[in-house]
């Protein structure tokens, strides 16, 4: 994982080799002489929707000959909706999605390769490890712009009363120490909660893969022939093994939350039932809006393994449809959206971190209020999610990995059966996509 976290200088050099200029196809006009672009956004929180719409309005005022229509999409249905729109030749020009949803669209020829379209400023500002999340084969099919580490949101009063060591990005808990702390926080009385931790694992695959990166977990391995196979190594087992032990051996993690989404655990956190909940960084907004008056909370880094605080992420991306007749104008609009000051606005609206180095350096994202500084400190360890470019991953996730991990975490199956399902059954799924 450390090899993926490169310096900004290396990022500029590596991507510059791919970029041959800033021009590209597109730029057609309608009967009125204006270019009209459709921008499908998946923003859903009010602050984020407002920020996106405001930026569209600002662009339209400054560019009367290139007008952008804001189209509201939904994370819940975006993959199927985009597939239908691509096949019906009705795709929006500018597409908001997540990098782990792009592989099939990129390989299927639905998205434009941006290498000859990206302005050098934008290419240089985003680190290479982020560009890798949108690179499929030899092409770059999206601009990664927002990313979300997983953190521990914790009840400050319980932590302080317990006397446990409080971790920081400089001195995080190891997975072993995290397991021990969860046990110490479980019980009755001051400094205790009914459960030291609550794992919301209704969708267990991404959290398992991405947090497993800290211990060297990869699971997916690409051979010299370019084909991907699944292998469960020692590093892959540390994070899921910790959760299973917390639930079934230590009883320091609540079994009932295994089928919950992140938001479902917040009432228990507010009420002192859970001392800590591992959640995405953006959940801080819900804590601010929903926590009862007087609730004290803090943001802690996720546990670290042999690779430190490395985490896999699948950033939000902006892509251009291959069928768009206005690719050059679409990329110019993306470049406007992702100017450093605008990227900060989008990050604050979504309570996430920007990928751009200039935006990430903004003082507003380094304040201790609401845990911004902790998140910013984790940014250097973020790298592509293990399944980022794996064809067939959605089917493996839904049909194989999700039920297998759910049963493993609950104690219904053991490590050998988990390995059989993830590896043996999983490789049969991937093989169909790699013939």
User: Under a CB-based contact definition with an 8 Å cutoff, are residues 240 and 408 in contact?
Assistant: yes
Per residue in 53-89, pLDDT tens? 999 999 999 999 999 999 999 999 999 999 999 999 9
The two beta strands, 382-384 and 311-313, are parallel
Query: Phi/psi of residue 220, each to 5°?
Result: -100, 130
The band of 203, judged by pLDDT with boundaries at 50, 70 and 90, is very high
The band of 30, judged by pLDDT with boundaries at 50, 70 and 90, is low
pLDDT of residue 16: 44
The band of 388, judged by pLDDT with boundaries at 50, 70 and 90, is confident
Mean pLDDT (whole number) for 425-434: 95
Residue 3 has pLDDT above 90, yes or no: no
pLDDT of residue 10: 40
- Residue bearing the bigger pLDDT, 33 or 428: 428
What CA–CA distance (Å, rounded) separates 363 from 360? 8
The band of 194, judged by pLDDT with boundaries at 50, 70 and 90, is very high
Mean pLDDT (whole number) for 235-252: 98
Q: What share of the chain is helix, strand, coil (3-state, %, to 5)?
A: 50, 20, 35
H or E stretch at 242: helix 234-245
Residue 253 CB-half CA count within 13 A: 28
Buried b (16+ CB within 10 A) or exposed e, 96-122: bbbbbbbbbbbbeebbbbbbbbbbeeb
DSSP state of 193: B
The band of 31, judged by pLDDT with boundaries at 50, 70 and 90, is low
User: Under a CB-based contact definition with an 8 Å cutoff, are residues 241 and 396 in contact?
Assistant: no
What CA–CA distance (Å, rounded) separates 360 from 149? 14
* DSSP string across 261-301: -GGGGHHHHHTTSEEEEEEEGGGHHHHHHHSPTT--EEEEE
Beta-carbon neighbour count of residue 347 at 10 Å? 27
Mean pLDDT (whole number) for 185-198: 97
Residue 264 has pLDDT above 50, yes or no: yes
* Six token digits for residue 106: 């990129």
Residue 25 has pLDDT above 70, yes or no: no
- Residue bearing the bigger pLDDT, 196 or 46: 196
CATH 1.10.3720.10 given to domain 150-312+388-433 = no
Does this chain's domain 2-147+314-375 share its CATH topology with 150-312+388-433?
Answer: yes
pLDDT of residue 33: 81
CA distances to 186, 264, 267, 294, 323 from 290, rounded to whole Å, are 24, 12, 9, 12, 43
* pTM more than 0.85: yes
**CATH architecture, domain 2-147+314-375:** 3-Layer(aba) Sandwich (3.40)
Query: Phi/psi of residue 323, each to 5°?
Result: -80, -5
Return the domain boundaries, the chain. 2-147+314-375, 150-312+388-433
Mean pLDDT (whole number) for 345-360: 98
The two beta strands, 220-222 and 228-230, are antiparallel
Point out the least confidently predicted range of 247-261, 276-290, 386-400. Answer: 386-400
What CA–CA distance (Å, rounded) separates 364 from 55? 19
Mean pLDDT (whole number) for 182-206: 97
User: Under a CB-based contact definition with an 8 Å cutoff, are residues 320 and 327 in contact?
Assistant: yes
Q: What mean pLDDT is reported for the chain? A: 92
- Residues paired with residue 298 on neighbouring β-strands, in sequence order: 154
Residues 6 or more apart whose Cβ sits within 8 Å of residue 221: 228, 229, 230, 231
pLDDT of residue 387: 87
pLDDT of residue 15: 45
Nearest by Cα to 182 from 122, 256, 245, 130: 245
H or E stretch at 70: strand 66-72
Residue indicated by tokens 């009914």 = 194
Torsion of CA 258, 264, 269, 272, to 10 degrees: -80
**363-372 contacts: CB < 8 A, separation 24 or more?**
370/284, 370/288, 370/299, 371/151, 371/153, 371/281, 371/284, 371/298, 371/299
Buried b (16+ CB within 10 A) or exposed e, 282-297: bbbbbbeeeeeeeeeb
Residue 2 has pLDDT above 70, yes or no: no
What CA–CA distance (Å, rounded) separates 151 from 282? 10
- Radius of gyration (C-alpha) of the chain in whole angstroms: 22
């Amino acid at each position: 994982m450390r090899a993926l976290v490169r310096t900004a200088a290396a990022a500029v050099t590596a991507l510059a080799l791919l970029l041959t200029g800033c021009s590209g196809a597109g730029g057609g006009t309608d009967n009125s002489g204006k270019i009209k672009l459709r921008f499908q956004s998946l923003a859903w929180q009010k602050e984020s929707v407002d920020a996106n719409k405001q930026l569209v309005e600002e662009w339209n005022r400054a560019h009367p000959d290139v007008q952008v229509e804001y189209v509201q999409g939904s994370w819940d249905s975006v993959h199927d909706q985009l597939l239908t729109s691509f096949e019906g030749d009705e795709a929006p020009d500018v597409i908001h999605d997540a990098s782990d949803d792009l592989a099939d669209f990129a390989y299927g020829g639905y998205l434009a390769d941006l290498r000859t379209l990206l302005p050098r400023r934008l290419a240089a500002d985003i680190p290479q490890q982020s560009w890798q999340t949108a690179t499929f084969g030899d092409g770059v099919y999206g601009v990664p712009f927002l990313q979300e580490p997983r953190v521990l949101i914790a009840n400050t009063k319980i932590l302080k009363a317990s006397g446990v060591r409080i971790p920081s990005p400089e001195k995080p808990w190891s997975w072993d120490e995290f397991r021990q702390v969860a046990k110490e926080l479980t019980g009755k009385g001051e400094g205790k909660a009914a459960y030291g931790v609550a794992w919301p694992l209704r969708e267990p695959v991404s959290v398992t893969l991405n947090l497993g990166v800290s211990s060297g977990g990869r699971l997916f391995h690409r051979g010299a022939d370019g084909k991907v196979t699944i292998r469960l190594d020692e590093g892959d087992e540390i994070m899921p093994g910790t959760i299973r032990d917390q639930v079934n051996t230590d009883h320091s993690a609540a079994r009932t939350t295994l089928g919950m989404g992140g938001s479902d655990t917040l009432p228990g956190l507010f009420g002192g039932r859970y001392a800590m909940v591992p959640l995405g960084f953006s959940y801080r907004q819900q804590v601010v809006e929903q926590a009862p008056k007087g609730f004290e909370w803090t943001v802690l880094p996720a546990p670290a393994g042999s690779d430190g605080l490395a985490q896999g992420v699948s950033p939000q991306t902006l892509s251009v449809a291959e069928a768009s007749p206005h690719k050059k104008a679409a990329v110019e609009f993306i470049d406007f959206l992702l100017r450093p000051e605008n990227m900060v606005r989008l990050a604050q609206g979504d309570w996430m971190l920007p990928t751009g180095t200039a935006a990430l350096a903004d003082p507003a994202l380094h304040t201790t209020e609401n845990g911004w500084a902790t998140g910013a400190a984790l940014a250097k360890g973020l790298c592509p999610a293990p399944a980022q470019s794996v064809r067939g991953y959605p089917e493996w996730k839904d049909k194989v990995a999700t039920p297998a991990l759910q049963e493993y975490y609950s104690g219904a199956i053991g490590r050998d059966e988990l390995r059989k399902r993830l590896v043996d059954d999983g490789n049969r799924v991937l093989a169909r996509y790699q013939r």
